Structure 1
């Protein structure tokens, strides 16, 4: 082979490497810029609550759907990344008549203003807890899917009486790494929701509720989170025949939730 041919091949190979590297970097940049659009899918509010509370946060209008009830018990609920939490109102009101119910609409969801992020949601969650705790001494904190990360972190910071985690995960970073193989997720992801980090601090009775056929959150992720709780603090229940989005349709769902309150 002539030296000129070798030189052309070398230049072509270098060009291919440069193009592939540029495309890879462009993909990483796009994932970094648009990552929250891949995490949060805001939903409008379908059901009007008896009372709508506006949280006293200065940088956004954050709404909470409330079913008021006098007495010591309250339930605070944090939903999934594409959930209209108001849809839980009828079922919760009927299943838990002794509880005041507070359903927080994340920023951008259900009429709340602003843009969702892990830190903003967490600040709102703490504000809501403090407001509710001024009226109710026994607060059950409940989180589903994405909201399980919100709930476990809140319960590590505030005196919750009970903690219930529905279709929970070990960390969002872990799930994203599985979804985007070959991408340096650890360095790009801003909202990591490291539930395992806060599980170690939980001392109140906790129930994890998993779907047997969860197609979104692997059972292994839930099991890893479960092992981070101190011995005797948490219990794990699996609802047979259910998936990530269908677990709430099971007749065992509200029973399992109620057993954790």
Structure 2
């Protein structure tokens, strides 16, 4: 019996050590797994000194009260989205934040840093525009939602949003204690109850990266009458923007 227990005990110890080492590795690498910075962009970039760095953003300036502030998805250069947004909103000023480390923007991305940058850019734009609509896609949906909970905004659109990054990570890595390991949790559900502006959640029916169930779960945390959910059939995380219904929904302004 002792001879059996000895090898089994050794195997169990080795398994525990390997698992602990894997958890440590994932903890140390987590931001490189969460953020996918894009290469430097050749597109023109506006600049704003804030939070100790030179924030960069794409813009299509327009005089007047209305503006749209866009927070893109992971691995997205937001300047590429600017022409389509400008065509969809010809009378609005358009701005799109370049996250730290993305498209040549300085710094290193983290949840706290990106939230602070989003606030700084909004505060600067609010001095020019009284009516600001927020659009957040994927990773950017959490930034838009936190900003809407903390600042007066006209309208919010969340494209393929999540209830929390920790919930998404737990789905993709069920064998890891991700809720203990994660530093950047992006718990959007905590911000939803504080949002007072009309909010549209656009979900892709066949999304495997952020399954629609996470967006539906998020919608249940809003105050009554604030959030509207729309599922675009036959779309996934990447193709949702190619559906004509997507652009009609963005332009509807809740009407």
Q: Specify the TM-score bucket, using the shorter chain as the normaliser.
A: over 0.9
Contact 2:41–2:104, Cα closer than 8 Å, also in 1: no
Q: Which residue of 1 aligns with 2:34?
A: 39
**How many angstroms does 1:99 deviate by?**
0.8
Q: Is the 8 Å Cα contact of residues 163 and 260 (structure 1) preserved in structure 2?
A: no
RMSD of equivalent CA atoms: 1.3
TM-score of the superposed pair, with normalisation by structure 2:
0.96
8 Å contact from structure 1 (residues 63, 105) kept in 2? yes
> Number of matched residues?
254
Counterpart for residue 118 of structure 2: 125
Instruction: Compare 173-182 and 57-66 and name the one that shifted more.
Output: 57-66
Instruction: Name segments (4+ residues, structure 1) moved above 3 Å.
Output: none
- Whether 2:150 is the aligned partner of 1:157: answer yes
Greater alpha carbon shift after TM alignment, 8-17 vs 69-78: 8-17
Q: 1:29 corresponds to which residue?
A: 24
| Contact 2:51 2:116 (C-alpha < 8 Å) held by counterparts | no
Consecutive unaligned residues of structure 1, counting only runs of 5 or more, are 1-5
In the alignment, structure 2 segments of 5+ residues that lack a partner are: none
C-alpha separation between the residues in 2 aligned to 1:159 and 1:73? 13
User: CA separation in 1, counterparts of 2:236 and 2:59?
Assistant: 28
Distance in 1, matches of 2:199 and 2:240, equals: 19
Q: How does 1:76-225 map to 2 (within 5 A)?
A: 76-225=69-218
CA shift in 2, pair 1:232/1:53, >3 Å: same
TM-score normalised to the size of structure 1?
0.94
Partners of 1:143 and 1:102 lie apart in 2 by 12
Aligned pair in 2 of structure 1 residues 88, 127: CA closer, same or farther (>3 Å)?
A: same
